[in-house]
Amino acid sequence: APVEPSLTLINDDLAPVLASARTFTTGDMANLWVGLVVQIPSWTLCATILAQGFSAFEALACVLVANVLVLVPLVLNGVPGTRFGVGFPVLCRAAFGIRGANVAALSRAIVACGWFGIQTNMGGHALKSIGVSVFGDAFARGFGVVHWLGLSTTDLACYVAFLSMQLCVIWNGIESIRKLEEYAAPVLVALSLALFVWALNAAGGLGPMLAAPSAFAVGGARQGEFWRAFFPIVTATVGF
């Protein structure tokens, strides 16, 4: 016998997105991608790989392997959304059931909250660095330390300021993110090119930047440890 559908299983956020409401174009997705990858944590990850002793080309290989590994499942996971407008929590019902899908969705939400905190912390430090460059070291000291947080008042103020800016964008919905990325992506690309030129000059050219030997080569500090370091780095990059 037909089962009467439960209204508790559907709401505006879970309902399929109509084709007419899908406003993200290919260019918008490219802008969003730029916003996701051109960021301080990405550069920190790459710097960490190099610090482990990998050469520039080995580090590039680690990143390439990790991205190839996640490419296929990410594309397959996105097909129901792009074709039918079905969101992740609803898609999970096919694999985990109605109740199990809640666990999968909450797990993803918890990870997102953690990543949001990391990004907000990075943004707060960026604001602090800008303030110090403009107003000097006195800006960093602020008005003392908030001992129970282990932060200076400047650290806390910059964190809250960056958090507030993010919440303003989020509060206005996905369309505000699309519009923000439309203007932010070209700026990020331009700043990245400027950073590359600065690094090029600081290193004395492209040759010295790429000439650093691998610590895993014969005679290197970590000779014979390549695979022991390779798999953890790839795993970390996949998780990123």
Tens of pLDDT, residue by residue, the chain (240 residues): 566 767 778 888 888 888 888 888 899 999 999 998 888 888 888 889 999 999 989 999 999 999 999 998 888 888 888 888 888 889 899 889 989 999 999 999 999 999 899 999 999 999 999 999 998 888 887 777 777 777 888 889 999 999 999 999 989 888 899 999 999 999 999 999 999 899 888 888 888 778 888 899 888 888 889 999 999 999 999 887
Q: How far apart are CA 138 and CA 177, in angstroms?
A: 35
Final residue of a structural domain among 155, 176, 197: 176
Count CB neighbours of 101 within 10 A. 19
Are 74 and 140 part of one and the same domain?
no
pLDDT digits over 22-52, tens only? 888 899 999 999 998 888 888 888 889 999 9
Are 98 and 216 part of one and the same domain?
no
Give a yes or no: residue 17 inside a domain. no
The predicted structure's pLDDT at residue 2? 61
The predicted structure's pLDDT at residue 84? 87
The predicted structure's pLDDT at residue 58? 92
Residues comprising the chain, all counted: 240
Final residue of a structural domain among 152, 176, 200: 176
Are 76 and 96 part of one and the same domain?
no
Q: CA of 205: how far to CAs of 46, 126, 175, 222, in Å?
A: 19, 27, 42, 27
Are 82 and 188 part of one and the same domain?
yes
Count of domains forming the chain = 2
Are 190 and 232 part of one and the same domain?
yes
CA 129 to chain centre: 20
Residue with tokens 């905190």: 117
Are 120 and 170 part of one and the same domain?
yes
pLDDT digits over 111-120, tens only? 999 989 999 9
Are 109 and 164 part of one and the same domain?
yes
Are 131 and 197 part of one and the same domain?
no
Q: Where are the beta strands (DSSP E) in the chain?
A: 145-146, 151-152
Are 95 and 108 part of one and the same domain?
yes
Nearest to 105 by CA among 167, 5, 14: 14
Give a yes or no: residue 20 inside a domain. no
Cα four-point dihedral sign 77, 81, 87, 90:
negative
The predicted structure's pLDDT at residue 3? 67
The helix-helix angle for 88-135 and 40-51 (nearest 10°) equals 80
Q: Which run of H or of E encompasses 184?
A: helix 174-203
Are 235 and 193 part of one and the same domain?
yes
